Amino acid sequence: MADIVPFPRAPRRPSDPEPLWRQLLGDQLRRRRHDREETLGEVSEKAGVSPQYLSEVERGLKEPSSEMIAAIAGALDTSLIELTSAVADELRSTAVPASAAVSAGRGAFALAA
């Protein structure tokens, strides 16, 4: 199989929408499956889900339950904590500080007592 080389991501601008958890989770699952050089069919069989469902999870189209995430993680010989940590690290790397979002005119609120 050919190697998959990820392109570096450009830093997120304050005007860009935040990535969704399910999208980052799907990216992480696909990356781990490709690193293991396994097919959708192989991993889905081990996880007890259909290849179509796994494909939709990897593409960020499904919001899987914690049980489904655990089954897929197990099929990829990883744990929920490793998977969750990797997704959280990715979220941190794409995060825009709240001060930048406010200075860009998004989400500015003032409260008065």
Mean pLDDT for 4-17 is 62
CATH of the domain at 32: 1.10.260.40
Domain that residue 28 falls in: 21-93
**113 domain residue, yes or no:** no
**11 domain residue, yes or no:** no
**54 domain residue, yes or no:** yes
**59 domain residue, yes or no:** yes
What b/e string do you get for 24-57 counting C-beta neighbours within 10 Å, with b at 16 or more? bbbbbbbbbbbeeebebeebbeebebeeebbbbb
Give the number of other Cβ atoms within 10 Å of residue 4's Cβ. Answer: 10
| Number of domains present in the structure of the chain | 1
Is the model's pLDDT at 109 over the cut of 50?
A: no
pLDDT per position as a tens digit, 49-78: 999 999 999 999 999 999 999 999 999 999
Q: Specify whether the CB–CB gap between 60 and 26 falls below 8 A.
A: yes
**In percent, how much of the chain has pLDDT > 90?**
61
Q: Specify whether the CB–CB gap between 24 and 12 falls below 8 A.
A: no
